[in-house]
Structure 1
């Protein structure tokens, strides 16, 4: 049981537990009998504990704020993808790409296929499906957060071949059908 108001306040604030309160009570009784007093030390310990708790709470709030900002960013990117996706894509041409180390196959129209191969369209992850987005929007999304754009052929088209490559004179088309 708590003997004085200070211990009650410490328990209420969560700075000490019942075991620590009993220890402090016994220590106070011993000091009272012997005539010693450590009130200044006790107050310093209480102040230190309060400062530690305040610092811990601030760090926890910062982490929560970062998580909330991350969720808001993901939500805004998903909203951008949903608003600007190209809807008329169905066709009979197969296009394969990699998503999470798995090869995915989709059937698209010739116009969408040509745009994907040339790099003017990209494939983005839209929660449980795929979205086809214009290249400038994909660049904006990548600036905000990476991981949403799965296929971006414009990066491959901008690569330069090395001079020592013996097959540099032979152009390999990207639109080969196997």
Structure 2
């Protein structure tokens, strides 16, 4: 009693006897019920590969999400700067400052110049130009993301060391160069 055509042909040709055919039949049925060892190993390998791919995809998604959040934060900060920048800045006084390794200058009013020197107004980078911002806003921006504030003069003299021999000599920070 052969189950398939191949077994029937092998029996007719005399290459396999009926006992061996039954034994092979039982083995194949047993393998189907219990699961073939080769297929189990293949399934395990496939599951491991899928888990590794899922982990890789999750890491990639997290990286993309971080990049998107960073981009969103930068856009929000630029919008804050545009909304809250001091608009009436054109004047005849030149304020020079260092941005990266280059000396830059902006023309501002005397009142704004005094406020920048005192630390009440901050110079921030706005795309290709610079904007003047109130100090509290600049501090909030700097907490969220650094790199926008270019000039933020310190408002307190708490940095002076107590044992500094030159503490009595005041160095002016508003020199015109």
Q: Describe the SS at the equivalent of 1:52.
A: helix
TM-score, normalised with respect to structure 1: 0.75
Q: Describe the SS at the equivalent of 2:92.
A: strand
- The aligned counterpart of 2:70 is 70
Unaligned runs of 5+ in 2: 1-35
Q: Describe the SS at the equivalent of 2:91.
A: strand
- The aligned counterpart of 2:106 is 106
Matched, 1:168 2:170: no
Q: Deviation at 1:114?
A: 0.4
Aligned-partner Cα distance in 1 for 2:47–2:167: 72
Aligned-partner Cα distance in 2 for 1:153–1:102: 18
User: Within 5 Å, which residues of 2 pair with 1:2-151?
Assistant: 38-151=38-151
Q: Deviation at 1:37?
A: 5.7
Q: Deviation at 1:165?
A: 2.8
Unaligned runs of 5+ in 1: 1-35
Aligned-partner Cα distance in 2 for 1:168–1:113: 25
Q: Describe the SS at the equivalent of 2:93.
A: strand
With over 3 angstroms needed to count, the CA separation of the structure-2 counterparts of 1:56 and 1:153, relative to structure 1, is same
- The aligned counterpart of 1:177 is 176
Q: Deviation at 1:176?
A: 2.2
TM-score, normalised with respect to structure 2: 0.75
CA deviations 1:50-81 (Å, max 9, x no partner) are: 11111111111111000000000000000000
> How many residue pairs end up in the alignment?
142
Q: Describe the SS at the equivalent of 2:150.
A: strand
- The aligned counterpart of 1:29 is none
Aligned-partner Cα distance in 1 for 2:104–2:121: 17
Aligned-partner Cα distance in 1 for 2:144–2:53: 34
Q: Please say which structure displays the higher CA radius of gyration.
A: 2
